[in-house]
């Protein structure tokens, strides 16, 4: 030190001395010692009141230092050629599809940014399914699907015609779906990844479920990995981050996230004013993940090594994502001026670099060496999940057409000049004469590219993605399982929820099916009376039970164990649905026919996780969704945000869902039996949604008529004929409200009405069947018209019809037109209230009195009785006609 040094210089000298000390310790004693010393310094500072700001971030440089980088084992030049061809074809698919049908859509820029990330996976890591190995599970970012198709084309799995029919699925020869949909391409896609946010969530639970299967002894551990290829914009969805702590808690080192940080989403930058990689790094490190950042390409390594001032890393840390995007568009001179130009030390650092060299500095996600090293480290990492954040450029290679521009996400067209530029940049052998056509290009089968690509896939066990439908019809012996529920409960009163839990316990004990049953519950087991299953089946916990539960002495103690069957997901309906999807698709994805029974508060089902239910259908998941505590008036006391009177409407939407609202234990048993038979014995893709209730009453025996069982399944059957009366009516009831119809049947006798009571187990089944007939009749005008089941059932019935349920009036209204005379619908439109069942049924006008009045009015409208009788009934039954409409309250 000399006197002439100013304070800034002194600080700098001190900084460099400390840095050198650290380097020395690292070289002589290793990384652990460095960590110890830093910890010591932290303690020392804290003891003296110097609080150290918490940061979960590491500097904005690659996590893996160059000298620890695994050596890339591939043929780099050949892989680049292959990747370039895939880039071209992926782009051409979209361009051509949009020329053929303007507005048909598709995305070019996402795959353009992800190509290296995916190709390293395809050539070196992602293993296909072989005899002895189920293969890795790769969730491909949905809108980059053209990249997967373009690769499948080179691998010979798809033809040129297939590529031409991208987004043209209704073509007579079939086309390629816009995004990954197992529902639409069941032999190709495994995981629907299109609804942003669900990929991360479902991948986490899938990885956990893979452990569950091993722990429960249903599958051998094989080392297979779950890879989720994600977008940085997508990480803003709450579901993306919502389960990341579960992944560490469960030590999911079989899980790897790769987040393609192209710093852009659809409209613009993900974090123009910040740094998305740093923000996500903090979240994931905080959650205990192994985080690997791949920020810069290899051509930055020398600059970083030569930078003794620390200013380069400082600049990297400072630069905003919005600026980084700007550097993509700017040339080398611009980068020199605006990136390096901020500090004289940095200008000095790059003084021997030409503008072209600066312009060519790459982002980490476009450097195969860096990406390979990150993947290898992730693959080998033990004890926690890994997330790789790879910085890329959105629309990489699209040049003027969109590289790094805010419009790039939606860019679907390239003009001739832009095509030429793309062709030249990636060296695709397409001549100027042909370029306007954007022809697909595939090298000959004996070309080095195709030979190499096929060799690599063969070495990794074959092509992916490839969905294997491992379904084999099973000879199930399920009849005996339900017999006991068909005979009724005698004097004993129970709720359908209790009957269901009893059935579930019985299924779990069954020697054939028991090991396949997966009960799933989001912290409501006690609400549903399921705690008896804790002891019987055990709550799954990979680490077993490391503590003595407080209720150890009791019969129903909280029994966590490694071989537990119950997935107690805590308060996460979304997580539970993700588990449902994993268990419900195990027949294809895990070669084992697990049978999920996901039981939840029905209010927090379809409306809360409807998107995941839709995804479950797309995944071809099978299983039972049990909406418990259902019914707007049957769930007493809970009020507006708990009482469900509409999930059956929402259940109308996905056609692969069958929805039932049974009233009695025998109905429930018949439906569960039917579900097991169709989904597991016959291997059909269905999801059965059953609502069960918590009102207790005596469960009758199943009427001994041949039509009853069929009626339960088809949605409606006559439960009890009326005894006597001059006038004829039919009362339709569902769920617990069927009991109100039975009470009304009695009341109506005093008005000389003979009312038959029908149990409607499923309006959805009735509706689906009716519209199917209607459609057939429309298209076959000269053939004998088909009559819907409902019309056939009621063809000979005289009299009036009144339907009541614990759901909105529109539910029975959906099938009204197939009734022989007008149907009056009672239902629970409006917000719930906390009160007793009796008061709620009065408030919503669905109790026996309202059914009685509605029936009398239908009779009066039909000219059978006088309207004055209706008025008389209103007053006799103490109904206030000036009562406010619950719909508006
Ligand atoms: C839930 C949901 N909302 C909106 C979309 C429409 N969408 C598809 S891709 C996209 C932007 C994705 O950005 P990012 O995740 O960063 O992916 P990139 O294309 O940049 O790789 C949007 C908004 C969607 N698929 N899902
Ligand atoms: Mg993005």
Per-residue pLDDT at 351:
97
Which ligand 1 atom is the nearest neighbour of the CA of 270? 16
Distance, CA 391 to ligand 1 centroid (Å)? 17
Q: Which of these, 853, 752, 839, 767, lies nearest to 802 by C-alpha position?
A: 853
For residue 539, the cross-strand partners are 560, 566
Q: Which ligand 1 atom sits nearest the alpha carbon of residue 260?
A: 21
**How many angstroms does the Cα of residue 316 sit away from the middle of ligand 1?**
27
Q: Is 117 in the pocket of ligand 1 (CB under 6 A)?
A: no
Banded model confidence at residue 55, pLDDT cuts 50, 70, 90: confident
Task: Evaluate: CB of 264 within 6 angstroms of ligand 1.
Answer: yes
Which of 110, 178, 404, 610 gets mutated to test ligand 1 (max ligand atoms within 8 A of its CB)?
110
Say if ligand 1 is within 6 A of residue 232 CB.
Answer: yes
Of 526, 534, 517, 501, the C-alpha closest to 665 is: 501
Q: C-alpha 798: how far from its chain's center?
A: 48
pLDDT band at 422 (very low <50, low <70, confident <90, very high): very high
Q: Which of 199, 262, 266, 363 to mutate to test the pocket of ligand 1 (most atoms within 8 A of CB)?
A: 266
Judged against a pLDDT cut of 70, whether residue 1 lies above it is answered with no
Ligand 1 near 265 CB (within 6 A): yes
Segment 631-658 shows an average pLDDT of: 96
Q: Name which of 16-20, 440-444, 495-499, 804-808 the model is least confident about.
A: 16-20
Q: What is the DSSP string of 297-355?
A: -GGGHHHHHH--SSHHHHHHHH--HHHHHHHHHS-HHHHHHHTGGGSHHHHHHTTTS-H
According to the model, what pLDDT value does residue 473 have? 78
The band of 383, judged by pLDDT with boundaries at 50, 70 and 90, is very high
Ligand 1, residue 394: give the atom nearest the CA: 20
Residue nearest to atom 19 of ligand 1 (CA): 110
pLDDT at 474: 78
Reduced to 3 states (helix: H, G, I; strand: E, B; else coil), residue 426 is coil
Please give the pLDDT value at position 52. 82
DSSP secondary structure letter of residue 571: S
Q: Pick from 576, 584, 482, 566: which is nearest to 526 by CA?
A: 566
| Ligand 1 centroid, distance to 235 Cα (angstroms) | 10
- pLDDT tens across 663-679, in order? 999 999 999 999 999 99
The whole-angstrom separation of Cα 267 and Cα 766 is 44
For the CA of 232, the closest atom of ligand 1 is 16
- What atom in ligand 1 is closest to the CA of residue 198? 1
**Ligand 1 in reach of 84 Cβ (< 6 A):** no
Q: CA 184, 445, 395 angle in degrees (round to 5)?
A: 55
Phi, psi of 510 (to 5 degrees): -65, 130
Distance 276 CA to ligand 2 centre (A): 10
The answer on pLDDT for 724 being more than 60 is yes
**Distance, CA 160 to ligand 1 centroid (Å)?**
28
- Decide if pLDDT at 232 tops 70: yes
Can you tell me which atom of ligand 1 is nearest the CA of 113? 21
Model pLDDT for residues 854-886, shown as the tens digit of each residue: 999 999 999 999 999 999 999 999 999 999 899
8 A C-beta contact, residue 658 and residue 446? no
The pLDDT of residue 53 is above 90: no
Distance 195 CA to ligand 1 centre (A): 8
Compute, in angstroms, the gap from residue 453 CA to the centroid of ligand 2.
Answer: 28
Mutate to test the pocket of ligand 1, among 94, 409, 614 (most ligand atoms within 8 A of CB): 409
Q: If you count them, how many residues does the chain have? A: 889
With a cut of 70, say whether residue 394 has pLDDT above it. yes
DSSP state of 264: B
Does residue 811 have a pLDDT over 80?
yes
266 lines ligand 1 (CB under 6 A): yes
578 C-alpha to ligand 1 centroid (Å): 20
Measured in Å, residue 402 CA sits from the centre of ligand 1 at: 17
What pLDDT does 756 receive? 98
Q: Whose CA is nearest to atom 3 of ligand 1?
A: 196
Rounded to the nearest angstrom, the distance between the alpha carbon of 240 and the centre of ligand 2 is 14
Show Cβ contacts of residue 233 under 8 Å, excluding neighbours closer than 6 positions.
196, 264, 265, 266, 270
Q: Please report which ligand is nearest the Cα atom of 615.
A: 1
Residues in CB range of 572: below 8 A, 6 or more apart: 242, 243, 522
In this structure, the residue with its CA closest to atom 12 of ligand 1 is 265
Predicted pLDDT at 384: 98
> Quick one: which H or E segment has residue 479?
helix 479-482
Ligand nearest to the CA of 233: 1
d(CA 154, CA 163): 11
What is the pLDDT confidence band of residue 553, given thresholds at 50, 70 and 90? confident
Mean pLDDT on 784-811: 98
Evaluate if residue 2 carries a pLDDT over 80.
Answer: no
pLDDT number for residue 64: 97
Is the minimum distance from the CB of 195 to ligand 1 under 6 angstroms?
yes
Spatial contact of 658 and 762, defined as CB atoms under 8 Å apart: yes
Is the predicted pLDDT of residue 286 greater than 60, yes or no? yes
Specify the ligand 1 atom closest to the Cα of 231.
Answer: 15
Distance 263 CA to ligand 1 centre (A): 12
Residue 546 has pLDDT above 70, yes or no: yes
Ligand 1 within 6 A of CB of 239: no
Number of helices (H) and strands (E), helices first, in the chain? 36, 20
Distance 843 CA to ligand 1 centre (A): 45
Distance 533 CA to ligand 1 centre (A): 41
Cα-to-centroid distance, 203 and ligand 1 (Å): 17
Diameter of the chain by CA atoms? 117
Collapsing DSSP states into helix, strand and coil, what is residue 628? strand
**Measured distance CA(44)–CA(42) in Å, rounded:** 5
Angle at CA of residue 318, ends 312 and 324, nearest 5°:
90
From the CB of 791, is ligand 1 less than 6 Å away?
Answer: no
Cα dihedral across residues 126, 128, 134, 139: positive or negative: positive
Q: Is 234 in the pocket of ligand 1 (CB under 6 A)?
A: yes
Ligand 2 center to 109 CA (angstroms)? 10
- Measured from the CB, is residue 196 less than 6 Å from ligand 1? yes
Residue with CA closest to ligand 1 atom 20 = 265
Q: Is 828 in the pocket of ligand 1 (CB under 6 A)?
A: no
Judge if the beta carbon of residue 240 lies within 6 A of ligand 1: no
Ligand nearest to the CA of 178: 1
CB atoms inside a 10 Å sphere around CB 222: 14
Tokens 């569950």 belong to residue: 212
Q: What average pLDDT score do residues 320-327 get?
A: 96
Ligand 1 centroid to residue 228 C-alpha, Å: 15
Place of tokens 């460099």: 16
* Average pLDDT for 800-829: 98
Kind and range of the H or E run holding 801: strand 800-804
Ligand 1 atom nearest the C-alpha of 266 is 11
Per-residue pLDDT band at 3 (split at 50, 70, 90): low
Q: How many CA atoms lie within 13 A of 612 on its CB side?
A: 30
- Atom number, ligand 1, closest to the C-alpha of residue 114: 21
Tokens of 121: 């996976």
Residue 150 has pLDDT above 90, yes or no: yes
User: What does the alpha-carbon distance between residue 536 and residue 323 come to, in Å, rounded to a whole number?
Assistant: 59
Q: Give the mutation target among 113, 265, 404 for probing the ligand 1 site: most ligand atoms within 8 A of CB.
A: 265
* Among 367, 329, 428, CA closest to 92: 428
The residues that bridge with 802 in the sheet, in sequence order, are 731, 824
Ligand nearest to the CA of 179: 1
> Mean pLDDT across the chain, nearest whole number?
96
User: Residue 888: its pLDDT value, please?
Assistant: 84
């Amino acid at each position: 030190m000399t006197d002439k040094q100013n304070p800034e210089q002194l600080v700098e000298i001190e900084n460099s001395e400390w840095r050198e000390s650290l380097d020395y310790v690292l070289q002589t004693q290793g990384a652990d010692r460095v960590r110890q010393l830093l910890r010591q310094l932290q303690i020392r500072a804290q003891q003296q009141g110097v609080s150290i700001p918490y940061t979960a971030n590491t500097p904005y440089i690659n996590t893996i230092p160059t000298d620890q980088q695994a050596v890339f084992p591939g043929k780099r030049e050949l892989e680049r050629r292959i990747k370039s061809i895939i880039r071209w074809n992926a782009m051409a698919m979209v361009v051509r599809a949009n020329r053929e049908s303007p507005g048909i859509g598709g995305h070019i820029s996402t795959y353009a940014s992800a190509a290296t990330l995916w190709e390293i996976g395809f050539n070196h890591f992602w293993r296909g399914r072989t005899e002895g190995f189920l293969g890795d599970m790769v969730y491909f970012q949905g809108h980059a699907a053209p990249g997967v198709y373009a690769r499948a084309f080179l691998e010979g799995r798809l033809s040129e015609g297939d590529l031409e029919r991208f987004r043209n699925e209704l073509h007579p020869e079939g086309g390629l779906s816009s995004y990954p949909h197992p529902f639409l391409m069941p032999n190709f896609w495994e995981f629907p990844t299109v609804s942003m946010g669900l990929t991360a969530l479902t991948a986490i639970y899938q990885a956990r479920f893979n452990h569950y299967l091993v722990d429960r002894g249903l599958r051998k551990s094989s080392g297979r990995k779950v890879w989720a290829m994600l977008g940085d914009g997508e990480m803003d969805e709450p579901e993306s981050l919502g389960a990341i702590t579960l992944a560490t808690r469960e030590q999911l080192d079989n899980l790897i996230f790769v987040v393609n940080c192209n710093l852009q989403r659809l409209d613009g930058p993900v974090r123009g004013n910040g740094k998305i990689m740093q923000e996500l790094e903090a979240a994931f490190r905080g959650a205990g993940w192994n985080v690997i950042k791949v920020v810069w390409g290899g051509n930055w390594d020398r600059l970083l090594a030569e930078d003794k001032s620390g200013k380069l890393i400082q600049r990297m840390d400072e630069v905003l994502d919005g600026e980084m995007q700007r550097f993509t568009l700017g040339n080398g001179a611009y980068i020199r001026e605006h990136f390096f130009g901020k500090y004289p030390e940095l200008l000095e650092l790059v003084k021997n670099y030409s503008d072209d060299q600066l312009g060519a500095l790459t982002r980490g996600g476009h450097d195969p060496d860096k990406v390979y090293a990150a993947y290898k480290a992730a693959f080998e990492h033990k004890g926690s999940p890994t997330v790789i954040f790879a910085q890329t450029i959105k629309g990489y290679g699209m040049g003027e057409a969109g590289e790094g521009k805010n419009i790039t996400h939606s860019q679907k067209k390239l003009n001739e000049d832009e095509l030429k530029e793309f062709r030249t940049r990636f060296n695709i052998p397409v001549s100027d004469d042909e370029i306007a056509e954007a022809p697909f290009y595939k090298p000959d089968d004996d070309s080095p590219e195709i030979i190499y690509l096929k060799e690599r896939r063969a070495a990794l066990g074959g092509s992916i993605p490839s969905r294997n439908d491992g379904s084999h019809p099973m000879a199930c012996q399920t009849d005996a399982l339900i017999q006991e529920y068909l005979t009724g409960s005698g004097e004993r009163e129970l709720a359908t929820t209790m009957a269901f839990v009893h059935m579930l316990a019985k299924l779990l004990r069954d020697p054939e099916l028991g090991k396949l049953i997966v009960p799933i519950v989001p912290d409501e087991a006690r609400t549903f009376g399921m705690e008896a299953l804790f002891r019987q089946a055990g709550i799954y916990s990979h680490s077993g039970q490391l503590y003595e539960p407080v209720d150890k002495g009791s019969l129903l103690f909280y029994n966590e164990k490694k071989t537990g069957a119950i997935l107690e997901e805590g308060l996460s309906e979304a997580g539970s649905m993700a588990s449902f999807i994993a268990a419900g698709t195990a027949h294809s994805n895990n070669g084992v026919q697990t049978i999920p029974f996901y039981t939840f508060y029905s209010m927090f089902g379809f409306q809360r996780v409807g998107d995941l239910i839709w995804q479950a259908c797309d995944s071809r998941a099978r299983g039972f969704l049990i909406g418990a505590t259902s019914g707007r008036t049957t769930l007493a006391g809970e009020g507006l945000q708990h009482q469900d009177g509409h999930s059956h409407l929402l259940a109308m939407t996905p056609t692969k869902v069958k929805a039932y609202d049974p009233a009695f234990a025998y109905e429930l048993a018949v439906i569960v039996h039917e579900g097991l038979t169709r989904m597991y014995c016959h291997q059909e893709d269905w999801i059965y949604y059953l609502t069960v209730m918590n009102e207790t009453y005596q469960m009758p025996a199943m009427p001994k008529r041949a039509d009853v069982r069929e009626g339960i399944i088809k949605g409606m059957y006559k439960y009890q004929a009326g005894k006597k009366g001059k006038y004829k009516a039919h009362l339709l009831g569902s769920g617990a409200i069927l009991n109100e119809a039975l009470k009304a049947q009695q009341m109506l006798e005093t008005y000389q009405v003979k009312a038959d009571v029908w149990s409607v187990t499923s309006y959805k089944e009735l509706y689906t069947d009716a519209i199917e007939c209607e459609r057939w009749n429309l298209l076959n005008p000269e053939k004998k018209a088909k009559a819907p089941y409902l019309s056939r059932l009621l063809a000979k019935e005289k009299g009036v019809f009144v339907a009541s349920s614990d759901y909105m009036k529109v539910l029975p209204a959906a099938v009204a037109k197939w009734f022989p005379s007008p149907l009056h619908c009672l239902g629970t439109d409006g917000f719930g209230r906390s009160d007793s069942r009796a008061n709620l049924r009065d408030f919503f006008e669905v109790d026996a009195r309202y059914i009685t009045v509605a029936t009398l009015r239908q009779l009066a409208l039909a000219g059978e009785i006088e309207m004055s009788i209706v008025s008389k009934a209103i007053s006799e039954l103490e109904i206030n006609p000036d009562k406010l409409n619950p719909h508006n309250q």
